[in-house]
Structure 1
Amino acid sequence: MKSRSISRKSRVRASFAPHIAFVKARPYAEPANAAARLLEIAKTLRIDEGRMPIGEWNSTFIWKDKASVAEYTLGRDKLIADGIIRMHECGGFFMWKNPAPEGELPGTDQLSRNGLA
């Protein structure tokens, strides 16, 4: 008599069965949310001759806030499209598109104007 054990092929196929995964909501999946958080981070960075280092900006957003590179890109591109920031010629820095008046934080008026505040 032949034993009725499950063949190796069946076991391998069963181990690759799709699983249902429950994923947490991504707070920065919306470009406006990501842009608002990036502006908050930008206001805390050291600014050298009007330039904000990209490395400090994206490392805070990606590592500390646990956001993805795609979410970072969405927020950055929204800020550039809205005219709030621009990329420096060298590609290693961001600069405020319109400098803030004396005594105000850069980006504050752009936040309210673009509905991000």
Structure 2
Amino acid sequence: MVNEGNEEVKTQLDMRRMVIEYFRKKGYKVEENVALEGSKGISRNFDLIVQKGRVSQCVWIKDWKRTIGINVIINLDRAAEEVGLPNPIIIGEKFSDHAKAYANRRKITLITTQQILQSLR
């Protein structure tokens, strides 16, 4: 049983490394594990902050086997808005139709793990 937990941690680290490589290949500067204080005084945690030119974006990486729903997207949107970083990015296996529609309206970038893998080949 202990080994299963180690495997999960390993795949999460592998996923994070792939995402970092993906953004660096696209010319972004990458900062990991960032906590920013929001406008309401609440600390918001992001897996990455990526910066290209003068534009910085926050990134959440969800290495889940299940579909990412609209609530996760709304939470990311609120966290990004509170810290003043527009157009957040979320990485995941798959997204629900409602999550995709909300992200499209709010200019949130959804990137699948498949897209990351294809771009790194």
Q: Normalized against structure 2, the TM-score is what?
A: 0.28
Bigger relative contact order, structure 1 or 2 (CA pairs below 8 A, ≥6 apart) = 1
Structure of greater Rg:
1
